[in-house]
Amino acid sequence: MLAIFHKTLAQPPVELNSPSSHGGIKKSAKEPQEILRDFNFSHPNSFFSTSFSGGAFLASTGADPGRPPFNQRLFCSLDDLYCIFVGRLNNLSSLIRQYGLSGKSSDEAVLAIEAYRTLRDRGPYPADQVVKDLIGSFAFVIFDNRAGSVFAALSEDGEIPLYWGIAAEGSVVISDDVEAVKSGCGKSFAPFPPGCMFHSKGGLKSFERPMNKMKAMPRVDSEGALCGAFFKVDSCAKISSMPRVGSAANWSFGEEKL
């Protein structure tokens, strides 16, 4: 998977910027269009690649025979919501019943979108609890084109690799392909921390049990060396919800701090 979002859509943690960068961005970092082009070139079996006005790019590859079987790759588009999902949910059947999707064609990507919509439209629900309900090994990125929001999460078992970094002009790059992020972001990239979720309106938060006030998030330079950076990751708020669409109330995701 590959997702790129302009800095007006998503602001990643400042710690992603390498201290050796000039003005925060390493000169060797690429423009988003270059990163997308190189990703598609290195994955000839890609089945989905698109761009959106406002500076969003999404791409997903087909099945990779060299990867574990649980690393299924799914894409779903529903009501201007777009989800790229890698992995598998062990409790998919029960979640389908929980979200009222019985009798409908549903997979993990559809379920992730429904969970996101529960937070966005039907809240307030504790955001950490909704993501905790997803049991399995997974990584997903959701782009809400209507609201201009980004939501990403990685399971706490860390079985699915996920990385993120900063492109040349400041866009955030998220991918399970370390080479795509490394070559596209220079030294300004790091592993996405397991057991965490990221929302463009509320930043990076932990949903692990127990919740952590601080999570170590190592920075990895372009040679693969760990630089030892620590990223502050807040615990989830008691009531955390996303900006509601079609409502006068604009409840900020993660506004309240523990």
Burial class of residue 233, CB neighbours in 10 A (0-12, 13-18, 19+)? buried
Q: What is the dihedral of CA 204, 12, 162, 109, to 10 degrees?
A: 70
Q: Are 251 and 123 in contact (CB under 8 A)?
A: yes
* pTM of the shown model: 0.80
Q: Please give the pLDDT value at position 120.
A: 84
C-beta of residue 50 within 8 angstroms of C-beta of residue 4: no
- What percent of the chain lies above the pLDDT cut of 90? 45
Beta carbons within 10 angstroms of residue 146's beta carbon: 12
Q: Give the number of other CB atoms < 10 A from CB of residue 136.
A: 17
CA distance 207 to 194: 9
Q: Domain 2-235, what architecture?
A: 4-Layer Sandwich (3.60)
pLDDT at 237: 42
Q: Taking the domains of the chain in order of start, what are their residue ranges?
A: 2-235
Tokens representing 24?
Answer: 């925060």
Each residue's pLDDT tens digit, 197-253: 999 888 888 887 544 444 445 555 545 555 544 455 554 443 344 443 443 333 333
Q: Choose the weakest-confidence range: 55-59, 95-99, 121-125, 247-251.
A: 247-251
